[in-house]
Structure 1
Amino acid sequence: MKHHHHLEAHAHIAPRVMSKEAEKITALVAGLRKSVFDIDKERARTRDASDPALMSTLDTRRNNLMVTVAALEDRLSAIQGLLKLNRRHVAHRMH
């Protein structure tokens, strides 16, 4: 019986850890999206100044950020899916 209680205690830790990770990823994505917005503003100013080297650098930075955002959003989606599965599993066990 003690072993079963010990496993249940660990089963509640994982969702808390995943929830915290989801919060951190959400905040990180928001920060990266702000950086993309700032780069877009700089690109607009650079386009007016006609500096192709700077435009290329900004485009590369923007693309790298967008790839990172997409990867983090995929990770966030996976975590949210696992959390939903866990809630259904817990609700099912309670009935």
Structure 2
Amino acid sequence: MRCGIALYEIRQPGSVGAYEELVCLAELPGDEELQVWEECLTAWGLAKLRAHDCRFGMYFAALLPLDERGEPDGKAADELLELDRLPVERHFTWSGYVELVPA
């Protein structure tokens, strides 16, 4: 299974209209299971927040299956949810410069 790691911004958190916006997505090398990459989520997410000059807000990094085009695969994600293998994600509260507190 092709896997990727994505960084999302949580827009309008705490409201009924909250939604997630993709900040960046990278395909992971190899054919390893998603859990192999779980330990690197925090470091990768914080590095991407710094690199993209992200503003204050709530974000999360997630491991997810990719389709043949290299985009998030919702159908495969649903199957992994049923097997209790997703979600694999880490949440961040970002000040614009550093992580404020572990979220």
TM-score range, shorter chain: under 0.3
Q: Which has the higher strand share?
A: 2
Q: Which has the higher helix share?
A: 1
Select the structure with the greater relative contact order (CA < 8 A; seq sep ≥ 6): 1
**Which of 1 and 2 has greater Rg?**
1
- TM normalised by structure 1 equals 0.23
- TM normalised by structure 2 equals 0.22
